[in-house]
Every structure is written in structure tokens, then in C-alpha cells.
């Protein structure tokens, strides 16, 4: 009997062991370098459900897969602003909270915040959260910009004078309009959620001046390149920068990488686990989500991937070096300067995408 036909039998029995699903599989679509193999192995050992993981490197890639229909996945992990419009498009099925007894471990203040993109927390469970900022190699940056390099400011990468010098050691940007343009707008004193074409024209004008000095736009390559010393700066996600430093330390290659949240303010985001409307195995999806809600499980994920998690019961289990790192767990005064993204109207999305293409191509 297929899992879909079992769902009606097991839903009323919240206490039923998930091992009853032992013959089944769960297909997961998550960001790259975000799901440790140890987590997948632990889930299979506990439940008997075999996980299959595919990865992506931008919200735009995930959205195209979801909105095309019949994605074939049981669990997907969009960011909060993208989930909001995908939910409105009917891409997800409501959660059966009777199958998620570990929901109580989550930070309830955070869950209230997330109701902005998911009213009533009906469709999604938070996985990790972080910020967009600047990862850099202190030694290499100091060599080209001196001891007063503005590593705590967007000016490091948006000022052409700095970028011309940094081009010598290599600068990378994420390849995603939703990850980069809000920060550029904010640096210009404009609304990071702007719907005005003239605001995006201003961002294009600014970034076109630095584009010749960008080594590449890519949302995955930068991690290893930073760790290996191939580049000296990356505008990227907090945890990925911390992962790059961890890889450098493991390789003992003499490279050190640091992360800064720019003093002007930066984007904070939340990645959320959701179940596609046409998921083949929704009960197995619930089992996987519930497993990741265990404090000891999600704490170890944070320790391995370098991102903060939303599980209040897990905080004390996170490595002290991570939970005390202001880049991973920003203090209150830094949090006050962070901004979240809102879903843009379709017309504004097109404007933002066109602006990004102009920046990348230098046209």
C-alpha cells in the first residue's frame, strides 16, 4: 500500500511511531551545503525512511521548479519572502501539526514574526536563519587596501575605488537579484523592497561602476574559493562564510576568513521547510520535519553548517564558538539594523530581474 493511502490511517494517531513508514522514501530539495549527511543517516536509522537529497543555490531556481508543477519533492526549503508568494500561488499543502509533536521546541517569538509570510504558521516550519553580508580574507584585503579597509561597510564592495584594488585578489557576488539588489538599494538610502523602477536604475548605475572588478557572480563557487584563498571577498550568506573558514582550518592551508554584517544594515532571512501540494509522500515529509525539530539534531546541523537555528530548546547545544559569534547570532543592536524582504508585485519582480541582468552583463 502506498504511503499516500496510509495517511488517512495514521493522521489521527499522533503517537504512532514513524517506523511504520519504514518501506518509504522522502525526497528533499534544499540549499547546497545545508543538509549534513549525518542528519540524513540519523533520520533513516531512526525512522527507516530513506531520504534522497537534491540541492539548489538560489530561491529563483527553487521557485521555477515549484511553480512548474509536479516537482516530485516531499520537502522543499524556500526563504520567507519567496514562501509568501508561493503559498499564495497554492504551491504548498497545509501542515498536519498532529504529526509534528516537536513544534513546541521552536522560538515562539520568531514564529510570531514568521506569521507575516505564513499567517497562522499553517504551511511552513523554520529551518535556519541568517544574514547577507561580507566574507573576506583579512590578510589579502589588508594587503591591497591597508589596515583601514572598511570591512564592516557596504562601501568595501560598492565603492569603485575599493573594488578596483580588490580585483587584484578577487571579489565574488551571489548570483541572485533578491540577494544582492536589496542591499544595494539600502546602501543608497532607498527602500530595499522598492517597487520603483527609478530606484533600480540607481542601483544599476552604482553597480555598473563596480561590475568590471567583480570576478564572478555565482551562488556556490565562492565557498571553496574563499576557503582556498582563490578570492579575497564574497558578498554572501553568513553561514556559508563561516563554513569557508571552517574548511580552511580543516585544510590547515593558512587561510583565515571572517564575516561582517555591514554597519549600514543588511538583509535577514529565514529558510522554511514546506511540503509541496503534490508531494508524493506527505507523511514521510512530516516525519522528516519533525526529526529536524529535535534539539540535538538541529543543534548539530547548526554546528556543521554555521547557521543559527530557530529552535529555542537547541540553543544551549550549539557550540559556544558559534552561538557567541555576532555574525551568526547578531546582538540586539545589530538586529535593529537588519531588514526583511517582502514579496514584490510581479511587475516589480520583472524590473528587479532586468536590473540584475543589466548589472551582470555590463550593459
DSSP string computed for 138-163: HHHHHHHH-TT--TTSTHHHH-HHHH
Q: Are residues 184 and 218 in the same domain?
A: yes
Is pLDDT at 18 greater than 70 in this prediction? no
Q: Distance between CA 22 and CA 13 in Å, rounded? A: 17
Q: Are residues 318 and 349 in the same domain?
A: no
Is pLDDT at 13 greater than 90 in this prediction? no
Q: Are residues 119 and 22 in the same domain?
A: yes
Grid cell 555590463 is found at 362
What pLDDT sits at residue 363? 74
Q: Which domain, by its residues, includes 32?
A: 3-129+270-329
Q: Are residues 19 and 71 in the same domain?
A: yes
Q: Are residues 294 and 315 in the same domain?
A: yes
Q: 247: domain CATH number?
A: 3.40.190.10
Q: Are residues 255 and 347 in the same domain?
A: yes
pLDDT tens digit sequence for 1-10: 333 333 444 4
pLDDT tens digit sequence for 113-165: 899 899 999 999 999 999 999 999 999 999 999 999 999 999 999 999 999 99
Q: Are residues 166 and 86 in the same domain?
A: no
Q: Are residues 322 and 354 in the same domain?
A: no
The rounded Cα 313 to chain-centroid distance in angstroms is: 21
pLDDT tens digit sequence for 44-96: 999 999 999 999 999 999 999 998 878 899 999 999 999 999 999 999 999 99
What's the Cα-to-Cα distance from 355 to each of 173, 358, 362, rounded to whole Å? Answer: 15, 5, 10
Residue 287 backbone class (left: φ over 0; alpha: ψ -120 to 50; beta: rest):
alpha
Is pLDDT at 262 greater than 70 in this prediction? yes
pLDDT tens digit sequence for 167-212: 999 999 999 999 999 999 999 999 999 999 999 999 999 999 999 9
Q: Are residues 183 and 311 in the same domain?
A: no
Q: Which pLDDT band holds residue 312 (cuts at 50, 70, 90)?
A: very high
Q: Domain tally for the chain?
A: 2
pTM of the model: 0.87
Q: Are residues 23 and 68 in the same domain?
A: yes
C-alpha cell at 195: 517597487
pLDDT tens digit sequence for 219-234: 999 999 999 999 999 9
Q: Are residues 144 and 109 in the same domain?
A: no
Q: Are residues 76 and 113 in the same domain?
A: yes
Amino acid at each position: 500500500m502506498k504511503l499516500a493511502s496510509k495517511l488517512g490511517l495514521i493522521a489521527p494517531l499522533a503517537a504512532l511511531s514513524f517506523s511504520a513508514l519504514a518501506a518509504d522514501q522522502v525526497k528533499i530539495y534544499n540549499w547546497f551545503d545545508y543538509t549534513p549527511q549525518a542528519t540524513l543517516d540519523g533520520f533513516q536509522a531512526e525512522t527507516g525512511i530513506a531520504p534522497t537529497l537534491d540541492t539548489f543555490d538560489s530561491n529563483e531556481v527553487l521557485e521555477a521548479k515549484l511553480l512548474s508543477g509536479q516537482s516530485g519533492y516531499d520537502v522543499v526549503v524556500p526563504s520567507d519572502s519567496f514562501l509568501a508568494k508561493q503559498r499564495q500561488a497554492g504551491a504548498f499543502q497545509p501542515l498536519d501539526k498532529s504529526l509534528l509533536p516537536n513544534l513546541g521546541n521552536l522560538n515562539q517569538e520568531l514564529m510570531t514574526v514568521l506569521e507575516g509570510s505564513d499567517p497562522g504558521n499553517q504551511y511552513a516550519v523554520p529551518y535556519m536563519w541568517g544574514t547577507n553580508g561580507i566574507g573576506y580574507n583579512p590578510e589579502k584585503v589588508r594587503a591591497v587596501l591597508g589596515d583601514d579597509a572598511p570591512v564592516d561597510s557596504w562601501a568595501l564592495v560598492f565603492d569603485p575605488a575599493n573594488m578596483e584594488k580588490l580585483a587584484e585578489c578577487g571579489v565574488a557576488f551571489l548570483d541572485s537579484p533578491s540577494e544582492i539588489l536589496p542591499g544595494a538599494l539600502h546602501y543608497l538610502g532607498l527602500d530595499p523592497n522598492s517597487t520603483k523602477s527609478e530606484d533600480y536604475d540607481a542601483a544599476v548605475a552604482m553597480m555598473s561602476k563596480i561590475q568590471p572588478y567583480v570576478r564572478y557572480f555565482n551562488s556556490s563557487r565562492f565557498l571553496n574559493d574563499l576557503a582556498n584563498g582563490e578570492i579575497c571577498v564574497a558578498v554572501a550568506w553568513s553561514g556559508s562564510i563561516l563554513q569557508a573558514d571552517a574548511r580552511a582550518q580543516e585544510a590547515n592551508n593558512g587561510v583565515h576568513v571572517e564575516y561582517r554584517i555591514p554597519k549600514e544594515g543588511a538583509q535577514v532571512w529565514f529558510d522554511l521547510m514546506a511540503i509541496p501540494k503534490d508531494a508524493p509522500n506527505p507523511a514521510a515529509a512530516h516525519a522528516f520535519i519533525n526529526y529536524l525539530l529535535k534539539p540535538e539534531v538541529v543543534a548539530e546541523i547548526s554546528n556543521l553548517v554555521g547557521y543559527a537555528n530557530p529552535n529555542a530548546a537547541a540553543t544551549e547545544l550549539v557550540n559556544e564558538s558559534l552561538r557567541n559569534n555576532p555574525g551568526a547570532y547578531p546582538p540586539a543592536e545589530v538586529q535593529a539594523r537588519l531588514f526583511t524582504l517582502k514579496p514584490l508585485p510581479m511587475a516589480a519582480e520583472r524590473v528587479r530581474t532586468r536590473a540584475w541582468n543589466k548589472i551582470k552583463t555590463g550593459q
